[in-house]
Copies of this chain bind each other. A is one copy, B any other.
């Protein structure tokens, strides 16, 4: 089996750096495609294709007005990612404090070695 489609879920869609850029850019305001193109310096077809992926997993929404299409990020679709990562929040805090402790221990060892008679 090949890699899962980028359109299969938010995790796969967000793996692409440009799509993350687009989501961040669209977080504040809705924007027409052309503005994304100039702001992020990407080709228009590329932007449209990325938006298509984002739309297919619900990460962005569109509003049509004449010939313009205003995209905005649907932040709620990012929650699953945030929640999955939160599973590990306590863990990395513990791990970091342990690293800190060991660093301090080591510092003390070095101290006593370099100054054995102190």
Question: What is the interface of chain A, defined by CB distance below 8 A to chain B?
Answer: 3-4, 6, 11-12, 14-17, 20, 23-24, 27, 73-76, 78-79, 81-82, 84-89, 91-92, 95-96
Contact = CB atoms under 8 A, between A and B. Distances in A.
A40 to B, nearest CB: 16
Given A14-B11, A82-B82, A92-B76, A3 B6 contact: yes
Given A15-B11, A15-B15, A84-B20, A91 B3 contact: no
Q: Main SS of the interface on chain A?
A: helix
Nearest to A93: B75
A52 B59 CA distance: 30
A63 B91 CA distance: 18
